Structure 1
């Protein structure tokens, strides 16, 4: 079942920096669907694009942090002998 979500510039959600990965990714998917639908006016489309960019950056930051944590754990489990 397809969910039709409509945004306007005043309804773009919580501050991006407060979102977890899953929340940011889900909202990013909604933003992309709305932009691809072509039903938004120019001002709303620009606001959606900006929100999408911020959400994508948030997701990337979360993934980078997760990778760094995994690398740290791996390093602790496999110390290099000097």
Structure 2
């Protein structure tokens, strides 16, 4: 991402949509090798941003589930 610092500012949906656009452009072909490589590198940076957002969301869900489980266990203990 060092070559594409602007992608770090993108939200998940923005990065995902731009990544889809990058993939379409690469699949369409017709680009020079240099342009293809630059686009590929931007796609890699966008994919990393998406992964980061997903990892953060996954962590939040796991924390929420752990809190619910803790509350449920506390409720079972109090009810005995």
TM-score w.r.t. length of structure 1: 0.78
- Indicate whether 1:39 and 2:39 are aligned: no
Structure 1 segments, 4+ long, off by >4 Å, are none
State the partner residue of 1:70: 61
Once the two structures are TM-superposed, the CA of residue 14 in structure 1 deviates from its matched residue by: 7.7
Aligned Cα root-mean-square deviation (Å): 1.9
**Matched residues, number:** 70
1:20 partnered with 2:5: no
Q: Please, what TM-score do these two structures have when normalized by structure 2?
A: 0.80
Q: Any stretches of 5+ residues in structure 2 without a counterpart?
A: 75-80
Gaps of 5+ in 1: 1-12
Task: Answer 1 or 2: which has greater helix percent.
Answer: 2
Deviations 1:12-64 (A, max 9, x none): x9811000000000000000000001111111101000000010111011101
